[in-house]
Chains A and B, each alone.
Chain A
Amino acid sequence: MTDTLLIGCDGSDSAKRALELAAAQAKVSHAKVIVAHIIEWSPYTFLTQEEIAERHKRRQEEMTRAEAHITAPIVDTLTQQGIQAEGIIQYGNIAKSLCAISKDKQVKQIFIGRTGEDSISDRLFGTVSNTLAQVSPVPVTVVP
């Protein structure tokens, strides 16, 4: 059975570097790559009436946009390089969603980029890469 690698993509430069690293590794080990884009979402935030009425439409739009601009181009590039790739778009907490996909798809390793910022809110609430390092069921590679 071939290994599966998971890459968290958000369109940032560091995510691209994470992708390159993962692609290089996938080529060598003939691993399959899952390109995941998670849209930050909490089912407990407050929505106004109109936002509720428009939610399904917006979700549709956000998914289409994310696929067109983030996951689909990456999957195409990987396929051209001869790597078996699959795109996933999900809503939720980024770290938790990546962990859930890892368990679901029996992923061997997760690759993500980090923002490298050091803001107060990051210190208080933690970053995605930090959280993932804490809770991930599989090894995590954080690319600067």
Chain B
Amino acid sequence: MTVLKSGLASFFIWLLPLALYAAEPSGIDQFIEQNIAPYTNQFVSFIFYAVNIGDAKFPLIVGWLALAAAIFTVYFGFIQLRGFRHAVALVSGKYSNPNDSGEVSHFQALTTALSGTVGLGNIAGVAVAISIGGPGATFWMILVGFFSMASKFVECTLAVKYRTENADGTISGGPMYTLSKGLAEKGMPTLGKFLAVFFSICCVLGALGAGNMFQSNQATLQIVNIMGGSESWIGQNRWVIGAIFAVLVGIVIIGGIKSIAKVTEKVVPVMAGIYLTAAAVVIFMNLEAVPAAFGLIIDGAFTGEGVVGGVIGVMIQGFKRATFSNEAGIGSAAIAHSAVRTKEPMTEGLVSLLEPFIDTVIICTMTALVIVITGLHANPDGLGGVALTSAAFESSMPWFKYVLAVAVVLFAFSTMISWSYYGSKAWTYLFGENKASDFIFKSIFCTFVVIGSAMSLGTVIDFSDAAIFAMSIANIIGCYLLLSVVKKEAESYFARLKSGEIRRYK
């Protein structure tokens, strides 16, 4: 309780200067824009170092992830097709030993990991991809979504294999442990340690960027949108909404008040269901436009008409958004899956390959179809992010912006909670597993919620992309070096499955 009190106290003291600034309208927003953006921009240009292919700029990091996904797919003989049925059987509990009941089930691991990835990327990110890259970006997004199932499979299998069980029975895992333990096993302890530290630093930055500022920014915009637009008082003082978010997030992650998290986490799957149903309704209402929409998507994917950089430009948008949405190869979901108690690392790997499928191949595609079908991909009003998706839904269901606002806020909130966990795991890996260092990270995290709400989308989205993509540099190197370990696990697992040693209980 004292921790809670002192935590909230120091938090409010921190907010005080912010409140003073606010006496002058939009003072805070401007201050943040002018003083923080220059630093984040340098980081962005470093991560997104791009080579020119024709007119298009191709960020090497995007190629890095797409290439890895393709290599893993081939190396494991299209595991996303071969293992799909078994993955579904695992999630439905057919292979769960009843004696292990009470431990985390595969279903729970999947839904929790999904709540961290399904979010604004699926609503706002897709809109960004289509407004810049045209309808064709959808095609490349689905393709990357399909291939990246293999990346997720590799990283999650490794995370379970190399996790650490703490003295108190809790589990710490994720790419930082994979890298330090796995590469030490391969006789590369120094490289492993270096990559683990690099990953952790990027993960902390990614948690503050994509997992926090981007979420807070988009949720705030959506609230401003329904509360009178950017000219209203709240539109000029967006940090107020950010501060409310920060307090709510702080209550959950610092105060340990689980009830708020519980409520959101329960509502999130329901919200996802409502969102998908609404998307299906919009598609159904415009059924006659569906063939034309698919035509636009396929045409756009291979002609790149009217898009800067042509086909490559379209591809880059699709690739970027798919990776940003499903986070395969980034290593974040591996942290979530590593905590599941299972004797077989392979089972978590198989279950996790369903995530990019649900996230990108299903949910992102639905959003894309809604935008393309309603004809809003042309984006006549120059909208960006959530606003474009919202406009697409509104053209068939005018009241939908209120539902979408609630969905965006809840998705943003649950993603922030998940990322605060990923970030704190990386932070405690760097600075030691203790309460004090955990608390410091969580306080910083809450501060960034406020900053994110006040910054403009351009700065925020660039920074969050950069931070999250940077994590993949270390993670993918680790995956390559440890591919043989995953191969051995896979061969042994599938052999035992075939022989009946791994038995079905239901």
Contacts and interface: CB of A to CB of B under 8 A. Distances in A.
Interface string A47-61: 111111111110110
Given A52-B339, A57-B169, A46 B101 contact: no
A14 interface: no
A44 interface: yes
Contacts of B417: 48-49
B265 A46 contact: yes
A45 to B, nearest CB: 7
A62 B102 contact: yes
Interface string B173-210: 00000000000000000000000000000000000000
B111 A56 contact: no
Contacts of A52: 104, 108-109, 112, 336, 339-340
A43 B111 contact: no
Nearest to B338: A53
Nearest to B336: A49
A45 B108 CA distance: 7
Given A56-B171, A56-B341, A47 B102 contact: no
A49 B107 contact: no
Chain A interface category by residue count? 20 to 34
A92 interface: yes
Contact of B108 (A47, A56, A57, A60): A47
Nearest to B341: A56
Main secondary structure of the interface of A (DSSP, over half): helix
A39 interface: yes
Given A41-B102, A52-B339, A46 B170 contact: no
Contacts, number: 80
A50 B101 contact: no
Interface size class of B (residues with CB under 8 A): 20 to 34
B380 interface: no
A141 interface: no
Given A47-B112, A62-B102, A53 B269 contact: no
B105 interface: yes
Contact of A91 (B102, B261, B336): B102
A109 interface: no
A55 B341 contact: yes
A56 B169 CA distance: 7
Nearest to A46: B265
B96 interface: yes
Given A48-B112, A59-B102, A62-B102, A43 B107 contact: yes
A90 interface: yes
Looking at A50, A57, A92, the one whose CB has the most chain B CB atoms below 10 A away is A50
A100 B93 CA distance: 17
Nearest to B173: A53
B170 A57 contact: yes
A50 B265 contact: no
A44 B107 contact: yes
A54 B170 contact: yes
Contacts of B109: 52
B108 A43 contact: yes
Contact of A49 (B101, B103, B421): B421
Contacts of B107: 43-44
Nearest to A55: B104
A60 to B, nearest CB: 6
Contacts of A44: 105, 107-108
5 contacts: A46-B262, A48-B265, A52-B336, A56-B170, A62-B102
Interface of B: 93, 96, 98, 101-105, 107-109, 111-112, 115-116, 168-172, 258, 261-262, 265-266, 269, 336, 339-341, 417-418, 421-422
Given A55-B104, A57-B169, A62-B102, 6 more contacts: A43-B105, A46-B112, A46-B262, A46-B266, A59-B102, A100-B98
